[in-house]
A and B are shown apart, each in its own frame.
Chain A
């Protein structure tokens, strides 16, 4: 099956056109600056060079039209006809409490998605726009929603409830949801394959370390806890997000500096984390360089705080799982930073974690077991592939509805 995988943001649409038989992307790209001056489309067929096109793209409908035009283009395309697109898979950020799996998009589902806007006001409206755009441009082609939250759906109540009045949970559905579920699920599956054991026997900790970062405790294939919460702000220290902090801190700062809600929000989401502590960058590569240079003492501090926070979560989730078979690193930092992996795994022999320095150094952007021989808990590097999961789910759901 050939699946168009879409990730629709406020002003961008990222896409991959995936052949589920070969599990390869035939083309990938992005439409940027939708509804703004200077919209631009970047398109890369798997066997030809990348191209960039400037265009006037006013809304998501035009953006999706553009994507289809690119896929069918004589010089840069990979299909001859719209009908070669068998289905569309959408990344949808928030599935609330309802959705434990990917679902076929129907009229009823759309109203359920709209009711979730309050939980993800920054993301779900754009996901909905993308779906509506496909209704217009690709009528009668089945669409599937794949939720970032679904993998964490079976988290037990003691892991998702916050220590605030229960009535607020009932009134506003305030609880931990977790994100990056598609990625945590994908790397869990891969880890089982690499270990040569069924997932249903394994206790795993998966660390998705990208611009946003989260850790999940995966017990026999089920996420039983994860570090992101009601929003993606909780948990690990990230590129520009604070992660965990005493909630009184933000109340205190907002009162002292007389900040608005918007300013308080951007303070924690855009000015904090690595960039906030270091004053250098939100990019881990630059933080590591500056930490080695030693000219920017706070770069070292940011790196130390980042790795220490991660280490605490590894310890906590090993306790939550009651054992640990493997620790998995994925996403930009997880796949490419031996320094971060090495530091966050140091002195964890008590959990059976022992990283081989040489293997760690070599594991950059590829699947690899980086533990020392005989380590009780395996430490793995697994490049994530969320688009492939979305394509696979879309195929599965579409086939199931065909009966």
Chain B
């Protein structure tokens, strides 16, 4: 496993985090996206993330230089032919993922470890797009990948034991703690955090407490690092809503039905940290600007 050739497909936030984590562990990684421009934009994103970490004393300039030298952006999906590990990290869209895995099935030799990084989609359904569903496995890393020590290793219905063992080895290589999950919508992390976030939004909507007080209560009361509403802002409100819709569709449970406040913010394009506004307001570096929440019950609801 050490020395393996590794490819990450998708240079968005997740693909960037994965590439940085792999390179930080000392391995070369090819970062692929549809165009060279997109792949290089991903590399710039990694640069910025490392600069922030240097500002937090977690990395040195020398570390950054070494890590960066191991990440190779490309638009050539065919480089997957030489890779021993391929990680898919494109947006959460079943059809796009199935389409990609169908291509990878044609490109990659039979021993390649093919990993999909999804938080809610069905591994089995993605795997069915290939001729080798037993070789496909899910690894759900959480954002920001370099800071969160957990990965959920998700077995599809047909994933075989050898593939699972390779995934475990890969998790260990990246110095992540792993848990085993049998495929089921939302796995463990998404399944549990989504209704919590939804409930926080309902508490806000019903005028029980302000957004600040809700977050403060969960932080101080239960030792959360981040309150549920600020967490939703960080994850992206559109992403949170898409998880809810997926879980609602799969499990038909009312608790996953997106709170009207969430639907409203997403429609208005207030998607959280990335657009500068969600439940709270943020500057372009993602730091909170106002101490008070932007969404108050009186203004938005009543």
Q: Beyond A35-B3, A36-B27, A37-B70, is A259–B60 a contact (Cβ under 8 Å)?
A: no
Residues of chain A contacted by B223 (CB below 8 angstroms): none
Residue of B nearest to A267 (CB): B57
Instruction: Give Cα A37–Cα B60 distance, bound, in whole angstroms.
Output: 20
Chain A proximity of B42: nearest CB distance (Å): 19
Chain B proximity of A233: nearest CB distance (Å): 14
- Can you list, as one digit per residue, whether each of A246-267 has a CB less than 8 Å from chain B (1) or not (0)? 0000000000010110111011
Q: Is the CB of A266 within 8 A of B27?
A: no
Instruction: Give Cα A263–Cα B58 distance, bound, in whole angstroms.
Output: 4
Chain B proximity of A55: nearest CB distance (Å): 11
Most buried by A among B26, B28, B57: B57
Q: Is the CB of B3 within 8 A of A266?
A: no
The answer to whether the Cβ of B221 comes within 8 Å of any Cβ in the partner chain is no
Residues of chain A contacted by B60 (CB below 8 angstroms): 240, 266, 270-271
Q: Is the CB of A257 within 8 A of B26?
A: no
Chain B proximity of A2: nearest CB distance (Å): 31
Q: Is the CB of A260 within 8 A of B147?
A: yes
Instruction: Give Cα A343–Cα B118 distance, bound, in whole angstroms.
Output: 60
The size of the chain A interface, using a CB distance under 8 A, is: 19
The answer to whether the Cβ of A56 comes within 8 Å of any Cβ in the partner chain is yes
The answer to whether the Cβ of A58 comes within 8 Å of any Cβ in the partner chain is yes
How many pairs of residues, A versus B, come closer than 8 Å at their CB atoms? 41
The answer to whether the Cβ of A311 comes within 8 Å of any Cβ in the partner chain is no
Q: Is the CB of B57 within 8 A of A271?
A: yes
The answer to whether the Cβ of A11 comes within 8 Å of any Cβ in the partner chain is yes
Q: Is the CB of B2 within 8 A of A266?
A: no
Residues of chain A contacted by B58 (CB below 8 angstroms): 259-260, 262-263, 266
The answer to whether the Cβ of B254 comes within 8 Å of any Cβ in the partner chain is no
Instruction: Give Cα A33–Cα B57 distance, bound, in whole angstroms.
Output: 24
Chain B proximity of A67: nearest CB distance (Å): 18
Chain A proximity of B272: nearest CB distance (Å): 19
Instruction: Give Cα A114–Cα B28 distance, bound, in whole angstroms.
Output: 31
Chain A proximity of B19: nearest CB distance (Å): 14
Q: Is the CB of A58 within 8 A of B57?
A: no
Most buried by B among A37, A257, A271: A37
The answer to whether the Cβ of B56 comes within 8 Å of any Cβ in the partner chain is yes
Q: Is the CB of B59 within 8 A of A266?
A: yes
Interface residues of B in 47-90 (CB under 8 A from A): 53, 56-60, 70
Interface residues of B in 1-17 (CB under 8 A from A): 2-3
Residue of A nearest to B3 (CB): A58
The answer to whether the Cβ of A59 comes within 8 Å of any Cβ in the partner chain is yes
Instruction: Give Cα A5–Cα B107 distance, bound, in whole angstroms.
Output: 47
Q: Is the CB of A266 within 8 A of B57?
A: yes
Residues of chain B contacted by A263 (CB below 8 angstroms): 53, 56-58
Q: Which residues of B contact A (CB under 8 A)?
A: 2-3, 26-28, 53, 56-60, 70, 147
Q: Which residues of A contact B (CB under 8 A)?
A: 11, 33, 35-37, 56, 58-59, 240, 257, 259-260, 262-264, 266-267, 270-271
Q: A33-B26, A266-B57 are in contact. List 11 more A-B contacts (CB 8 A).
A: A35-B2, A37-B3, A37-B26, A56-B3, A59-B2, A257-B56, A260-B58, A263-B56, A266-B58, A266-B59, A270-B60
List 7 A-B residue pairs with CB atoms under 8 Å apart, sorted by A's residue number: A36-B26, A58-B3, A259-B57, A260-B147, A263-B56, A263-B57, A271-B60
